[in-house]
Chain A
């Protein structure tokens, strides 16, 4: 068989059924092999869309997402998506066509140093050197993408290798390997938890990545330890857990931020002390000892020194940390904070209050749903006000904060989970960044539902200009937006537009009941901001509340 046919064969061996991509000259042999393959290809309308769709596919299922592009600009268009996957530890394999080996380094047409540009935005990358190593490299790519801390792996394949002849040999798929757990560290951690008067679990995306949600929930229920969640962890702690303090950080709930400042033991579980979580780092959890649980040794004591660190598989570690409840006063304090700082939806006036709309929509969605969002004010409102039963149901660009993530990510989730309701919540700024993916929705008749919160502004930047740049609104006015209703209709997507609070009930019902794709355009006041807010460089207990 040809190298191109081998690529498809190896993908199938790893269980790949769907690929997102865009053809071009240097990857034509693989697209030719795809023509007769059982692997289904989803033509996105920009390679960045393909990368984000692969991310949505991976994040909504835990499987590897695969994207494909041609050399040169095809590959460069993948770069932002791969960087996003790197920041959020998403298992993605990207396959790029490269010009003939003999032309590499000659500035040939669509020849770029893809390996070179991949170094900082992938977990690992390969430029395939020969047909002999092609299969092995691809197998390594799949193993690496999923092993340890997951991440994106790029395989750049010169065209001569794609068209060369090679034999296919089956390859054993290896189970994941984990480091042995340091039992002395486990004992030390149990001692710290037993001695703590105010212990707090700080949950990150790593718990979901380790597929250890049940184990975590078991520890929480047994030990009655309160928990805060990062953006990527939302959905990990059950919504009805009595001591679920929810979202922590710059736009987190005040209860979560105050609890973390008061705790005397922080059990960081698959999180990484990101600056959007900690605020001013040296003021974060100032009285707490730290137990750090992770699969990645590089995260231990990177930003906050750990008193005890345990490396390994959370499914094995967490059950060993069950300690009898012993902190009734702390639990009472946490319960009080949760009640005191519960989100409020009593917004005055006739206009639509986005947090209330999102909360109402969240409750109206079927149980099996995925919400993908873009980046900005609406992203924080989604995190604050929508309810999630799994981190696989909340796809949000966390570390990279990439506008344009939402629509293609929702497409990937819809392909991966065809029976689920896939919803995008976007803003008028972000939506335009990958708006071409409406063409993908149309092409494959995907029933992706879109909520577009339109304040005719780059809202989050505008909010910071208002608060920190003396209301000098530099380049954030988008009042010349296109007519989004007409735009949706150009792709055969029905659309409705609302601007008043009394229109919400009917619109939400129509939106949820829609069998196919639909766009709900929501006009909101550009003066509505995201609250509360920890100003940059401030401590988390210095949150400010606005209007």
Chain B
């Protein structure tokens, strides 16, 4: 019973009763008052008519009149003489007129002590020497058959209105509370971990908006849960490989399994490299998590993207030289400044350039910086392995590697592009990638020009 349907339905029903019951009571009061007034008028009229009749009648007619009155109607009649003695009565002997002066009209109410019945009475003088007055008594609860029908019709229409109100209350309460009940069930399912559940959106009001928000929340929760699972799985996988290297080679060194000094040095190098790799991985993960939580401090200032790109190219040039790769720069001199953190922008270019050099065996790596339509655009393109079209949507995900089998040969933590994307977006920029499998890849960075007042 403690559901919103019963509460809402009950409240509306009570509201209907609050309106209908006083209305019904007042209508019945009006009807009763009308009936009583009508009864009084009728009694008076009857008394007047009988008084006129008796003034022209003899004693025998009086007996007949009183007899017929007592047998055919519920009304009573009393006829008094000049000394206020009852001449004829249909059974109301205990009554005596209030006014001593006979020959005047009298109306009032009277309770018969024998039956405790309430009566309206009307007394009228009779212009006859023998008869002084006639009194007609009508029971106060007396109603004509029409009046009884009207009263019954009122009761019936009240009942009909109540039933009609209950029927519509039931429908409206159900219609209003059904979405809430569905949402409550969905919320319970979500709390139990069933994140695939959805609330049907049927309206465009606040309830519809709430349902949409709940569905959005469920989607976000599911995405978060999937990401977290994937993240833990990737982290454990990424750490397992270098750890097993370190464990294996340190065990070999501990037990003196190396054949000579060169091999010992080689084992130490491997352990050192893997330890470095793990360190880089931890640093990258830490940075990435801070970026995703939007707690990453940036020193934003006006910077020249061309200068930053040039600095990054110079840093990468030695490693490009080792692989006989040509580094080409096409940087426009008069490009406008952008708002960004110079160190982090350099990190973006460094990551892209290192990737380009890593995945390019021969050919060239080209860096362009130009201004276009109020934007500063930087591109890093290579003539390397390229990326398959089905891989492109995933390359900015954490730990996503294009060639999983050869990933370790190329080094890197698998977090570089995820960091690049986060850093770019934190500095109001966008990053796009175009690639042709086997022919090369182009990354395009786009930053808005600095406006006046940005410094």
- Is chain B a partner of chain A in the same complex? no
